[in-house]
Chain A
């Protein structure tokens, strides 16, 4: 099966989106699920990426990713009409969506991508959806218009105040949790540190909070155990038990450390790729 890229766009300096042909995944996927993507069929990395959306008629899924290392740079260098080596999925358990009442959805940076189908799903299920989107600076706020289209309330915050409120996401989150009635559920997706502090905020208000974890993974089907996290003192596997967990039970400190396991090796590979890319004149 060939996975042709039918559209591709750069959303910010390092964030890209593409629609890629994967009809079976498009048909089967539910909000909250992810795929494993390989740029090449052979010895490329298996990259876990959340599915930001799908078009079953076109048989495509939408991926949004950040250029952080060699493999994600290679993906960024692919052009419309070229293909991905493989797309396996959808993986992970779908989000449990029902009419909870009011749901507050908090997205941080690239986390807006997996959050989008979940927030939209919550809206379609009849919830009042309050979206909080945060980023370091204006340029890094992605998918704002799409959230605006269905959110009952949309709050944008940036660290530097270049767009929306100058605040961290936890500030409006605490305000919303303090309302009467308080939201029935919070869904927080973003960098681990952001999810950790969102959970600390909602814990004070006893607002149940779901997080979606993006750990290191190899197979994504429950075989390797590389994605293990500690949830409620127990070892859980993100690929088959998650990716969503009760955020109040997740040990984020362990997770953040494990995420850094290959940072040095990855940096080296990324540098080598950038140099190679320069030599073959791929730089725009």
Chain B
């Protein structure tokens, strides 16, 4: 009986191919947008989270707005780093200057910091060395530049050992950073030059005292304790919490999660609406189909079809329309994702992004399509099943 109903349902769908396809289109587009959009958001979340954890979610960044005449000194940072919850500490001041080499120049961000900074920020050296303790003690005029600066000012040549003029002061380049297109690279910006903090204080007017510094927690379990310690230390120093701000990477990760969840919901909602519209399309065409086949229904009833037989025939037809549409939509999504991944691999920006079909959303799409087929097939199928045989037979 069920097999017979299936056969009849597919027969009806195939006998009206164009109409069936147009009816399915609503479901196809709905499922396609649902699966692709949610898969994109899910993959983007995954890749952003991976990059955040690459920076190290145990990193804390501290900004001091006003130091009330009690500036943080190198000795204070040393004291902070003594705490059991704190791993490494590095000051970070920034100035924006023009870097010059011969006739080439570039606008760069100068970070004045210590050797620990490289470890905290997970910066890798491609060539040469990082800053060392004696650079800070002796205020040496050395600089580590990023790959961008090296490429701009010394195209095709090694930058290490070359002289670089920052706002007219000559620095010797001792190291070049690995090019970094990760999230932390984005946070730092491109065109950066890292110099010893003590040298920067002497050289650049307005650099002043330590206004911000980075710290790592001793371990990832210590992040909250480290943050509490810093808060306590700075509050004790300034008497209020309003003069500083501590930024915890965990918060960034959590916020990112929230933003992505909202996007997922938003896209999913839009796609759900188009699925709903597709369902209405199915109902519409099923109603047409029931009217067109009134006589057929009459004949079937006259020769002994029960209500349930007629009902299941039309319900299966509606379900088949929505599920075939769903299958086409998922296949199309898979194809799109495949093409996207191939395209992304050859693009510099997206080379790290790889989108996979989210299994959850595929299951959701199938369930949703089933529900829509049943929901919107029910009314027309019931209408067909309720017809009185003599009325249906008389229908012209």
Q: Do A and B come from one complex?
A: no
